[in-house]
Amino acid sequence: MNSVALLQIQLNQYIDFQNITNEDIFENKYFFKIFNERYSNNNGIVYIQSGGGIGNAFLSAFVGIYIAYRLKKVPLITSHTMNCGNLEFADVFDFNDKIIYGGNLHTEKVCNYLKIPEKLREGTSDNAFWIGSQCNVESRFEKINKYVEKQEVLLPYEKCNIYICGNGWPTNLKFNVLKEAIEYYGIKLKKDIIEKSVQFITGNNITEKTLGLHWRGTDSWWIDSYGKKCYPGGWFSLDHFLVEAEKQLRYFNGGFVCSEDKEAEEKILEKLKGTIRYDKNYYTEKLGDNWKIWKGKGKDHVYNVNRTKEACKEAMIDCIILGKSYCVQRHDWPPCRINGPWAGSSFVQFGLFLHKFMKGLHIMDIVEKGPLMRVKGLNVPRSQINQKIQDRLLENERKRKEMSARAEKKKQVLIEYGKKTPENNKIINNQKPQKRKTLMKESTVRILLKSKLDRTKQRIKLLREAATQARMKKNIEGGDFKVY
């Protein structure tokens, strides 16, 4: 064997698992050998791919890490599928060698090489391996775990590798387990991001009494069910946002403004006194008037952006600052949170997430749960005339859903009760239906009986009088007759 061939073999047997490439996996016949030597106690691989903007993509990546930790598998994280401006997980976080990372991996080829079925990669809500916003992660985990256990029985000599994807933050996630996972994998924010964020927050006294003014979605809008152009957050226009913000700002010590649109930032700063912003060098670049259609959303959902990595990295600092503030929401929307069934803004939600789980930010005495409570006076500001109808419709829809949920709950309780008492049900079903009886007091019964007797006597008296008058008339035929 010549020296060149020997060198090639040696190169093939070296893999940088923190910067893994396509060639290291499906073009390297030594991959599994090297992988099993490096991760000797592994239980397989979880291939993690997420999608969406900064908040959705990174939150979804942490869900995949959470699943991998609970299954005792090795997480393999790759680039996001869209809209994250090429900002990689490794650009924002440091982590130890227990995580495998590879940018821009060829998902189809890698999954085929790892023998991950194609059905696991279907981006639908029915797929347990796709964990998006509002999904019950514990319910999904149970299904994933059952699949893994079944595969281990069918193929006992092969490690079961799976695929996890998502877009957003789910519900019903065990925070203590996630904290353990973050500690286990040594995940920390990059030093420069923490330093810039902490410096701005402490230098400008950003607290939970600071109103976060995040004008987002200038790159994305859709037509809502009422036929109105709507931006993320439920705002109909920047003017609508300013009206609501002005009402709420008076309850706070000041405001923090951020947006991917520089002109919008400057307009908000001009209109709302007592507000500040983090000075950025990069913003979202607009692509002109040729708006693109986002596949899967139809013609009513469009976007128009060119997000650079530099702009997204500066946006991370905005995100952390927002997580320390109380972010403005529409008056008929609940506040953004990370432990509730409704997110509001995934970007703000990610800021809250970072303050809760990243140790580098705890030096600022962050409130553990973030700004979860509504401020008194913000819940019921008076709506503008042109918004009253829509607000009323939204409120009616909310009440209708609550009533339906209560009715369904009562139905389930009755069904469960029926299942527990089958013998009693048989007895009840065999009985003939009886007239409903209402118990009355004895005195009431006596009064009713006496009244009925008196009415009968009165009718008899009237009949006798009528008969007497009839006999007295000459034109009555039939002769004499009596009423007894």
- Name the 3-class secondary structure at 200: helix
430, part of any domain? no
Instruction: Note the pLDDT of residue 110.
Output: 93
3-state percent helix, strand, coil for the chain, nearest multiple of 5:
45, 10, 40
Residues 180 and 202 in one domain: no
The angle at the Cα of 101, spanning 60 to 54, to the nearest 5 degrees, equals 35
Q: What is the pLDDT along the chain (484 residues), one digit of tens a residue?
A: 566 555 555 555 678 898 999 989 988 888 898 999 999 888 999 999 988 778 888 988 999 999 999 999 999 999 876 656 678 899 999 999 999 999 889 999 999 999 999 999 887 778 899 988 778 899 999 999 999 999 999 998 889 999 999 887 777 888 889 999 999 999 999 999 999 999 999 999 998 888 888 887 655 555 555 566 666 666 667 888 888 888 888 888 899 999 888 888 899 999 999 999 999 988 877 665 554 544 444 444 555 566 778 888 899 999 999 888 888 766 555 556 665 555 567 888 888 888 888 876 654 444 433 333 333 333 333 444 444 555 666 677 788 888 888 888 888 888 887 776 655 555 555 555 555 555 667 777 777 777 878 888 888 888 888 888 887 765 555 555 554 4
Residue 301 burial (C-beta neighbours within 10 Å; 0-12, 13-18, 19+): middle
Please check whether residue 127 is in contact with residue 46, taking contact to mean a CB–CB distance below 8 angstroms.
Answer: no
Q: Provide the residue range defining the domain that includes 7.
A: 3-188
Residue 122 identity (one-letter amino acid) = E
Residue 5, burial from CB neighbour count under 10 angstroms (0-12, 13-18, 19+) = exposed
Name every residue whose Cβ is closer than 8 Å to that of residue 346 and which is 6 or more positions away in sequence. 52, 53, 55, 56, 59, 133, 168, 169
Claim to verify: residue 247 and residue 341 sit in the same structural domain: yes
Taking the C-alpha atoms of residue 95 and residue 98, their distance in angstroms, rounded to an integer, is 8
Which residues are CB-neighbours of 135 under 8 A, at least 6 positions away? 125, 166, 170, 171
Residue 439 has what pLDDT?
64
Is residue 432 in a domain? no
297 and 332 part of one domain: yes
Does 31 lie in the same domain as 53?
A: yes
Domain boundary, last residue among 188, 218, 248: 188
Asked if 181 and 194 sit in the same domain, the reply is: no
Q: Do 318 and 216 sit in the same domain of this protein?
A: yes
Are residues 128 and 260 both part of a single domain?
Answer: no
Helix 422-430, helix 388-420: angle, nearest 10:
90
125, 154, 188 - which closes a domain: 188
Do 175 and 209 fall into the same domain? no
pTM of the model: 0.70
CA 57 → CA 39, 169, 380, distances in Å?
A: 27, 9, 33
Total tally of structural domains belonging to the chain: 2
Q: Does residue 146 sit in the same domain as residue 204?
A: no
Strand partners, 215: 259
Are residues 144 and 277 both part of a single domain? Answer: no
Residue 141 domain-assigned (yes or no): yes
Are 353 and 253 within one domain? yes
Please name the residue that has the structure tokens 């992988």.
35
472 in a structural domain: no
Task: Using the 3D structure, point to which of 346, 375, 399 is the last residue of a domain.
Answer: 399
* Residue 246 included in any domain: yes
In whole angstroms, what is the distance from residue 49 CA to residue 94 CA? Answer: 18
**Is 437 part of any domain?**
no
Question: In the chain, what percentage of residues exceed pLDDT 70?
Answer: 70
Instruction: Assess whether 196 and 175 both reside in one domain.
Output: no
Written as one string, the DSSP assignment of 409-456 is HHHHHHHHHHHH-HHHHHHHHHSPP--------HHHHHHHHHHHHHHH
**Residue whose tokens read 């009415």:** 455
CA distance 72 to 145: 11
**Separation CA 168–CA 427 (nearest Å):** 52
CA distance 333 to 60: 23
379 domain residue, yes or no: yes
Residue 414 lies in a domain: no
